């Protein structure tokens, strides 16, 4: 499974993307990408859609750190 997802905020000149399944030496659930502002790279994005996401090597989300998952029935 390969795919590129792009985000465009033309009013604020922000562009971001991530590509799923193309990370070298990683399984298909890994993704990588970048965020740009005014055509200048702001940060890199890396993660695993089943578990975590990093922005410039800082972890912002990790499913293993969630104590409780809320499901409304």
Q: What is the mean pLDDT of each run of 10 residues along the chain (73 residues)?
A: 86 95 84 96 93 93 78 68
Residue 41 pLDDT:
98
The Cα–Cα gap between 34 and 11 comes to 19
- DSSP result, 18-66: EEES--TTS-TTEEEEEEEETTEEEEEEEEETTTEEEETTEEEEEGGG-
Residue 24 pLDDT:
84
What residues are paired with 46 via a beta bridge? 32, 54
pTM of the full structure: 0.78
Structure tokens at 2: 């390969």
């Amino acid at each position: 499974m390969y795919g590129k997802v792009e985000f465009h905020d033309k009013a604020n000149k922000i562009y971001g993307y991530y590509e799923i399944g193309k990370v070298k030496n990683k399984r298909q659930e890994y993704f990588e990408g970048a965020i740009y502002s005014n055509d200048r790279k702001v940060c890199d994005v890396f993660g695993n859609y089943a578990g975590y996401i990093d922005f410039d090597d800082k972890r912002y989300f990790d499913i293993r750190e969630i104590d409780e998952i809320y499901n409304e029935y």
